[in-house]
C-alpha cells in the first residue's frame, strides 16, 4: 500500500475535526440539555446551537491542521505544499458537488418530521445530521479522489 500523501492525511484530519464537532453536538444536546429534545421547543437554544457549529468547525479544522503540519513535518520531513494547484481545485470541486447533494438531501429529509407533525426539534436534529453527513462526505470523497489520482 502506498504511503499517504499530505493531502490524503489532510482529508483524514478534517474528518477527525468533523467527528470532534459531532461529538460536541451530541454531548451538548443529549447530555447537557436533554430537556430540549422533549417538550416545548426553545428556538433560541436551537438557533444558538446551530450557529455555534460553524465557528467550532472552523476552530477544530485550524487546530487539527496545525497539529497535522507539525506532526507530519516531524515524522516525514515533508512540509505542507502551501499552494493549491489545478488538481486540488478539481478534487475540491468534485467533492463539493457530492457534499452539496448530501446537504440538500439532508435539508429535504429534515422537513419530514415537520410534515408528519413531530416536534420541530427533530427538524433541527435532521439539519445538523445532514450538515455532518455532508462534511463527512466531503472528507471521504476528497480522500478517495486523491488516492485514485483524481
> Which residues are at the interface with another protein (CB under 8 A)?
5-7, 81, 83, 85-88, 146-150
Quote the least distance from Cβ 24 to another protein, whole Å. 32
How far is 73 from 71, CA to CA, in rounded Å? 6
Q: Per the structure block, which three cell numbers stand in for 7? A: 493531502
Query: Which CB, 7 or 134, lies closer to another protein?
Result: 7
Query: Which CB, 40 or 86, lies closer to another protein?
Result: 86
Quote the least distance from Cβ 145 to another protein, whole Å. 10
Quote the least distance from Cβ 10 to another protein, whole Å. 11
Quote the least distance from Cβ 25 to another protein, whole Å. 33
How far is 8 from 17, CA to CA, in rounded Å? 14
How far is 130 from 110, CA to CA, in rounded Å? 8
Query: Which CB, 59 or 81, lies closer to another protein?
Result: 81
Q: By the 8 A CB rule, do 60 and 16 touch?
A: no
Q: By the 8 A CB rule, do 30 and 37 touch?
A: yes
Q: By the 8 A CB rule, do 15 and 47 touch?
A: no
Quote the least distance from Cβ 87 to another protein, whole Å. 5
Query: Which CB, 134 or 142, lies closer to another protein?
Result: 142
Query: Which CB, 4 or 140, lies closer to another protein?
Result: 4
Please say whether the dihedral angle defined by the alpha carbons of residues 95, 97, 103 and 105, taken in this order, is positive or negative. negative
Amino acid at each position: 500500500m502506498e504511503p499517504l500523501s499530505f493531502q490524503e492525511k489532510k482529508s483524514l484530519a478534517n474528518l477527525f475535526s468533523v467527528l470532534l464537532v459531532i461529538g460536541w453536538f451530541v454531548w451538548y444536546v443529549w447530555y447537557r440539555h436533554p430537556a430540549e429534545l422533549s417538550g416545548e421547543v426553545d428556538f433560541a437554544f436551537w438557533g444558538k446551537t446551530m450557529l455555534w457549529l460553524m465557528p467550532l468547525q472552523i476552530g477544530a479544522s485550524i487546530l487539527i491542521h496545525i497539529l497535522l503540519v507539525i506532526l507530519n513535518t516531524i515524522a516525514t520531513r515533508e512540509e505542507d505544499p502551501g499552494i493549491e494547484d489545478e488538481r486540488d481545485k478539481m478534487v475540491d470541486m468534485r467533492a463539493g458537488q457530492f457534499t452539496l447533494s448530501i446537504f440538500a438531501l439532508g435539508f429535504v429529509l429534515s422537513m419530514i418530521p415537520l410534515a408528519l407533525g413531530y416536534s420541530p426539534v427533530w427538524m433541527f436534529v435532521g439539519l445538523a445530521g445532514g450538515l455532518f453527513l455532508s462534511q463527512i462526505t466531503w472528507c471521504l470523497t476528497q480522500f478517495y479522489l486523491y488516492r485514485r489520482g483524481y
